[in-house]
Amino acid sequence: MARPFKTDRPIQWRCNIPESVAAKVELRLWDPLRHTVRLGARSELVTHLLRGWLEDGEEKTDPD
């Protein structure tokens, strides 16, 4: 079965994060059964945080 078509296609970004922050994130996303971080978990986290940040910015700039 083919993957469903994504209307909002992903792009690849590359960024540098301090090792101490990355280690804490890895611990929170760690799957003890698989002994690794679930595939896509980092992307989901960053997407969630960026969407929240963008929504907060829209509320602050709303003239009403």
Does 29 reside within a domain? no
Rounded Cα distance, 64 and 55, in Å: 15
CA–centroid distance for 50 within its chain: 8
- On whether residue 46 sits in a domain, the answer given is yes
In percent, how much of the chain has pLDDT > 70? 91
- Residue 34 counted as domain residue: no
Residue 47 is part of which domain span? 39-64
Tell me the C-alpha distance between 36 and 33, whole Å: 8
* Residue 18: inside a domain: no
The predicted pLDDT at position 4 comes to 81
**pLDDT on residue 18:** 98
- How many structural domains compose the chain? 1
Q: Looking at residue 1, what is its pLDDT?
A: 79
Domain membership of residue 44 (yes or no) is yes
